[in-house]
Amino acid sequence: MMSSKGGARKRAWFSLVGAVALGVMVMTVTPASADEGTMNASKNVALEVSSWLLTAPYGAFKAAYALGGTAVGGFVWLVTAGDTAVAKSVWTPAITGDYIVRPENLSGQKPINFVGKDS
């Protein structure tokens, strides 16, 4: 059984997510011209809202991955007596990459890169 404090937190969280979703919809919706179909506009709004809602958990997971990679890279740097090149081989993939989900990622136009690439 959930305590009243936990229930209040859950309700507050859902209210916040709903408010953010509503705000995103209001800010990103543009009036469709007569040439555009309502289906296309609906799809764009759905992609925008979905990308905003998915960014929160994805971004948190990516940030945790980056922090873990930073710690491991630091440990590697210490173990290798300050070899920065070896440490960067851990840091670069962990820290770089995409932290937010964009509508282009959801529509398949652009891949999302969880693990970054060496430049």
Record the tokens describing residue 54, joined without a space.
């998915």
What is the reported pLDDT for 62? Answer: 95
Question: Per the domain annotation, does 114 fall within a domain?
Answer: no
Confidence of residue 90 (pLDDT cuts 50, 70, 90): very high
Tell me which residue range forms the domain holding 61: 4-28+38-107
Question: Per the domain annotation, does 33 fall within a domain?
Answer: no
Evaluate whether 76 touches 87 at the Cβ level (below 8 Å). Answer: yes
pTM: 0.62
Question: Per the domain annotation, does 112 fall within a domain?
Answer: no
Question: Per the domain annotation, does 63 fall within a domain?
Answer: yes
Say how many domains are in the chain.
1
Question: Per the domain annotation, does 58 fall within a domain?
Answer: yes
Nearest of 98, 22, 116 to residue 55 by alpha carbon: 98
Helix residue spans in 1-119 (DSSP H): 4-28, 38-79, 84-95, 103-107
What is the reported pLDDT for 117? Answer: 82
What is the reported pLDDT for 1? Answer: 47
Question: Per the domain annotation, does 117 fall within a domain?
Answer: no
What does residue 19 show for φ and ψ, rounded to 5 degrees?
A: -65, -40
